[in-house]
Structure 1
Amino acid sequence: MVVSEEARLRVIIVGAGLSGIATAISTAQSGHSVQVIEQAQQLAEVGAGLQITPNASKLLQYWKLPDSMWEAAAEPTKLTVHRYSGQVLAHDPTFNKSIRAKYDAPFVDLHRVDLQQALYARAKELGVTFHLGERIERIDFDTTTVHSVAGKQYSGDLIIAADGLWSKCREAFVGKKDEPLPTGDLAYRIVLTADQITDPELKSLVQNPECHFWIGPGAHAVGYSLRGGNMYNVVLLVPDNLPPGVSRQAGSVEEMRELFVGWDPILNKFLQYVDTTIDKWKLMHHGEMENWVNDKSNLVFIGDSCHPMLPYLAQGANSSLEDGAVLGMLLGHMTDKAQLPRILRLYESLRKSRGEAIVRETFKQRHDFHMEDGEEQQKRDEIFLSQLGKELKGAFPSRWTCPEVQPWLYGYDAIKEVEKAVSENPDLFSQPSQSGSFCKIL
């Protein structure tokens, strides 16, 4: 759907991360005028690998992202969970085929920069305007105006907060500093090139994409290929030992390796190839927000600005893409600007409960992956091993292949969700909204 000129909104998106650019694409496709404000001077985002699950990869297909992005992807053919000693606890030998068969979309691993640049190129094709190097100073909700530190003003009909964990929009919304909270974990993110790796066994793992997890007391690691098997991404999730108030700090390679002494030799061989400085990233979260839309219905939240997630299910980026898709497509069904408040509430009702439920599920996955050795861990491993080589049944400690959680995560179809919501709310979308008009909120 593309809106008429009368219903066309001037939309200001704060933040040009993945969620912001995805929302810009979806909103511009719906026919609205979109400007994106970003504090970074250029879009060369620091980052490493991303695991794009079918609930999001189908959106990347829908948005017609350039072929270069798909060529830069790696599709893991297998998924394996190891006990930290190296013992295999779970193994899906046909992971790529079963994912495509179940969800009609692939599970791919991408470098964050490759995805961001592809989204950026598509957004510009659709006429989205980007203002880089603009830091937000304040927001005037009476005039729907964003004021930058440099003294510029950006006014419109709607402000979309896509400015992440340290959201200035969230501070403006709640009227005070709203600092994220530590989760007790931190991450080391490592990217190795295939050229660096001389060990034949490791080189084969890099060049033949698979996904491997190693789970152990208080920590876990995940490794997967990027860029068609030319790079390898390793993420180490360990207890947070950064000082209070420090969110990122250069770390010691020796300290990092020390944390994994006694773990699988394969993992440790990968860590031996780390020969540069490595950063420690404190993993943070926020409490749940009561609302994602302000009283004036000219501010709405998406992504990490309203539901930041631990990376333990790889859904931070994926769910942010869902948010942007749903919001942009709903705005595409507007026939009158007076409908905006109800459309934003409908978006909130469609997305808030799912986003917050995924957040809770990530904490459960951390619990199941980080168990200390003992009785609870032994019971967990019994569940794993009792189903090794069999079709999985019931609740499973790894949600990546759990027959209950995986379909809920990967089977979500934002496009169909919007179509269903529109069909169930004919009074909202078929005529200008009036005070008191009926709208079925899901």
Structure 2
Amino acid sequence: MVSEKARLRIVIVGAGLGGISAAISCALAGHQVTVLESAKELAEVGAGLQITPNGTCLLKKWELPESIWAAAAVPTVLSVHRYKGDILAREEGFDKNIVKKYGSPFVDLHRVDMQQALYTRATDLGVVFHLGERVSSVEQAQVHPSVRTLAGHEFSGDLIVAADGLWSKCREEFLKVKDSPLPTGDLAYRIVLTLDQIKDPKLQAWVANPEVHFWIGPGAHAVGYSLRAGNMYNIVLLVPDTLPDGVSKDAGNIEEMRKLFQDWDPILTSFLDEITSVEKWKLMHRPELAHWVNDQSNLVFLGDACHPMLPYLAQGANSSLEDGAVLGGLLGKLISKKQLPYALKRYESLRKSRGDAIVRETFKQRHDFHLQNGSEQEARDKLFLEQLGKPLKGPFPSRWTCPEVQPWLYGYDAYKEVDRSYAESPFPEK
């Protein structure tokens, strides 16, 4: 807990997972935190989240309410299927193996459950939320930076944290140019089915007994996993983008969607037959941001505002949690406000290289999961099958269980990284 002379007034723009995580971490460090959110209520769009050990270790450290663990589904198996259903990779006892290796679980959560648990913890810590406040401008030049909203309100402090997502207004203000996200060429169909919507007993058993299943095929792949302790099923279909330019989300045509997967595994197509409505989302990305901190050291970026991630490794949410933890952890080391520039520079050095590297790794996973039928796909499948039922050797086509990539992703402890870095090089006392 910082002393009074080091206590910052922090304004966080965005109440997504990254913004609230930063709010919790900064509040635990002893700072005064205000969060601005453009939505009038906290009801996150989307559905399932896969929270890997690098994320769950933070949820435990932040002492989130027990409701979040009751709402989780813990997958016992992770499988990769060829798109017609054949098993390419399968890890039994996935839940136990993960905890043994990393000391924290891999859980599947509904995004709303996650956000509400974070919000509850933040408010318990005294974080103040202002909903329905869309940012119109950011003033960085003055001693105390400020944010003005479309409602005409102004919020100032010692530090502005830009956690306003893929369509970040703060990023636009920082770069002084219109900076729209770029299409990746893919879109996602996002589907949630409750147990009572599913009539087939075989499918009900899939939902009630949580596992993670990937189906990988030419130019597309699907992932399915249970939510809410096995009472809900989440499916994401990743396919070539057919949305018009300028349209980021639209209602999906169910028959069009089913046609894309008509020759796939009957288990998957049976789930798709249960669907009565679906939405499709254009998957977007951004070029790497050269710097995450402005020259005045009073504006800092985190999460999708600086490193948006494709969903192919489920690290978008987890990396945002890491950002928030590292930022708050470093700001908890301050002895005076004069050290803020050093803390922000350290945050960028600790987080930027990892965030950008994860972004690059997601594109590699997309490539390996979406191979067209042919020699490269056959070589990939051979590599899968040669290790089926055996201890894995890297590099492995599925980074979810790759013995080289998985430890790098899941073994990261944000607070340990902060303590290690600070012990090696404390902030100058001036």
Q: Same fold (TM over 0.5)?
A: yes
Aligned twin of 1:56: 55
Q: How far apart in 2 are the matches of 1:394 and 1:322?
A: 25
Partner Cα distance (1:142, 1:379) in 2: 56
C-alpha deviation, 1:335, in angstroms: 0.3
> What SS class does the counterpart of residue 348 from structure 1 fall into?
helix
Cross-structure match for 1:82 = 81
List per-residue Cα deviations over 1:182-214 (Å, max 9, x = no partner). Answer: 000000110001111121111111000000000
Distance in 2 of aligned mates of 1:402 and 1:200: 33
In structure 1, C-alpha distance between the alignment counterparts of 2:141 and 2:395, rounded to whole Å: 49
* Structure 1 residue identity aligned to 2:199: T
Paired residue for 2:105? 106
Residues 216-227 of structure 1: pairs in structure 2 closer than 5 A: 216-227=217-228
Give the distance between the partners of 2:99 and 2:187, measured in 1 at CA: 32
The residue type equivalent to 1:250 in the other structure is A
| DSSP 3-state at the match of 1:335 | coil
Residue 307 of structure 2 is aligned to residue 303 of structure 1: no
TM (normalized to structure 2)?
Answer: 0.99
1:28 match: 27
Q: Distance in 2 between matches of 1:246 and 1:198?
A: 34
Letter in 2 for 1:248: K
Aligned twin of 2:214: 213
Match of residue 292 from structure 1 = 292
The aligned residue for residue 13 of structure 1 is 12
In 1: Cα distance, 2:396 partner to 2:136 partner:
47
> For the residues of structure 2 that align with 1:226 and 1:334, how far apart are their CA atoms?
40
- SS of equivalent residue, structure 1 residue 423: helix
Identity, in percent, stands at 68
Moved over 3 A (4+): none
Task: Please show how residues 185-264 of structure 1 align to structure 2 within 5 Å.
Answer: 185-264=186-265
Match of 1:439 in 2: none
Mapping of residues 408-423 of structure 1, within 5 Å: 408-423=408-423
Which residue is 1:171 aligned to?
172
Mapped partners of 1:395, 1:135: distance in 2: 45
> 1: CA distance between counterparts of 2:164 and 2:417?
25
- Using the alignment, how far apart are the partners of 2:425 and 2:379 within structure 1? 47
Give the distance between the partners of 1:63 and 1:306, measured in 2 at CA.
24
Q: CA deviation at 1:432?
A: 2.7
For 1:394 and 1:18, the matched residues in 2 are separated by 32
- TM-score if structure 1 supplies the norm length? 0.96
Which runs of structure 2 are paired with 1:37-436 in the superposition (5 Å)? 37-143=36-142, 144-276=145-277, 278-426=278-426, 428=427, 432-433=429-430
Whole-Å separation in 2 of the counterparts to 1:279 and 1:189: 6
- The amino acid that maps onto 1:60 is L
SS at match of 2:2: coil
In structure 1, distance between residues paired with 2:402 and 2:13: 36
Cα deviation, residue 142, structure 1:
2.2
What letter corresponds to residue 253 of structure 2 in structure 1? S
What CA distance in whole angstroms lies between the structure 2 residues aligned with 1:336 and 1:23? 20
CA distance in 1, matches of 2:120, 2:268: 36
Once the two structures are superposed, residues 2-25 of structure 1 have per-residue CA deviations (whole angstroms, 9 ceiling, x without a partner) of 000000000000000000000000
3-state SS of 1:233 partner = strand
- Once residues 312 and 96 of structure 1 are traced to their aligned partners in structure 2, the CA distance between those partners, rounded to angstroms, is 20
Q: Which residue of 2 aligns with 1:436?
A: none
Q: Which amino acid aligns with 2:388?
A: L
Give the aligned length: 428
RMSD: 0.6
Structure 2: give runs of 5+ residues left out of the alignment: none
Q: Distance in 2 between matches of 1:219 and 1:247?
A: 19
Letter in structure 1 aligned against 2:18: S
Offset of residue 251 of structure 1: 1.1
| Paired residue type of 2:165 | G
